[in-house]
Amino acid sequence: MMTANVELESTIQRVREEVAALHGELVRYGLVVWTGGNVSGRVPGADLFVIKPSGVSYDELGPEDMILCDLDGNVVPGTPGSERSPSSDTAAHAYVYRNMPEVGGVVHTHSTFAVAWAARGEEIPCVITGMADEFGGPIPVGPFAVIGDDSIGRGIVETLRGHRSRAVLMQNHGPFTIGVSARDAVKAAVMVEDVARSVHYAREAGPLIPIPQDRIDALYARYQNVYGQAEDDRR
């Protein structure tokens, strides 16, 4: 029992470090401003996840600042960071972890071009081979939902369950991404903004050439096969 606790503590610490560091990737790729955006990561082997505190500068996000929550989104008392409030999107993250056991990480940003598609409630068509590789088709739009109940989390899960895409554009809001790990979800957040931007510019200058569905399928299958589904491989 004590051994199990020691091991769990060590796992939690590793997830804290990983999630804290991954926030730096949101800054590096220009996906967030001020204190907006958030990354969370599930603690493997426990009904817990680690998430960013609310309203704290990206310059000050060390492992001990991350907040440990249970799968109902409640802060675990007495743990490092628990004196602060977790991200105001914590309920949405928790809903995803409760309902999608295969998900190891969740990311939310207000990245510019993904938000632009979301403000029109328009899915991003799959016209780039890199997008077929990564998302296997278009990036779908989720329902309009506001903070305050489970509606954001439910909208994410209902849109992404059974979908190839790991990214959803919540209408009038912005992108949420999921992954087998926090790192994988961050990669999806980076890639969804990249394709949102490229396809925006492509389309504003003239008609897009569609990629035939069988080629999209082949590209996606190859990419999943080559890079696999495991956390370590989807880097």
* Sites of contact with a second copy (CB under 8 A): 29, 33-36, 54-57, 88, 110, 112-113, 115-122, 127-130, 144, 146-148, 171-174, 187, 190-191, 194, 197-209, 211, 215, 218-219, 222, 226-227, 233, 235
Q: Is 227 a catalytic residue?
A: yes
Phi and psi of 117, rounded to 5°?
Answer: -65, -40
- Cβ proximity of 86 and 54 under 8 Å: yes
Q: Is 110 a catalytic residue?
A: yes
The smaller minimum CB distance to a second copy, of residues 47 and 233, is found at: 233
Task: Kindly state the smallest distance separating residue 82's Cβ from a second copy, in Å.
Answer: 18
The smaller minimum CB distance to a second copy, of residues 161 and 235, is found at: 235
Catalytic residue among 70, 110, 150, 200: 110
Task: Kindly state the smallest distance separating residue 119's Cβ from a second copy, in Å.
Answer: 4
Catalytic residue among 97, 108, 184, 223: 108
Task: Name 8's Cβ contacts closer than 8 Å, sequence gap at least 6.
Answer: 43, 45, 46
Q: Is 108 a catalytic residue?
A: yes
The 10 Å Cβ neighbour count of residue 29 is 16
Q: Are strands 67-70 and 141-142 parallel, antiparallel or unpaired?
A: unpaired
Tokens of 199: 């396809």
Q: Report the first-to-last Cα separation within the chain, whole angstroms.
A: 34
The smaller minimum CB distance to a second copy, of residues 13 and 54, is found at: 54
Task: Kindly state the smallest distance separating residue 101's Cβ from a second copy, in Å.
Answer: 26
- Counted residue by residue, the chain has a size of 235
Catalytic residue among 47, 149, 227, 233: 227
Phi and psi of 68, rounded to 5°?
Answer: -90, 125
Residues with catalytic function: 108, 110, 133, 173, 227
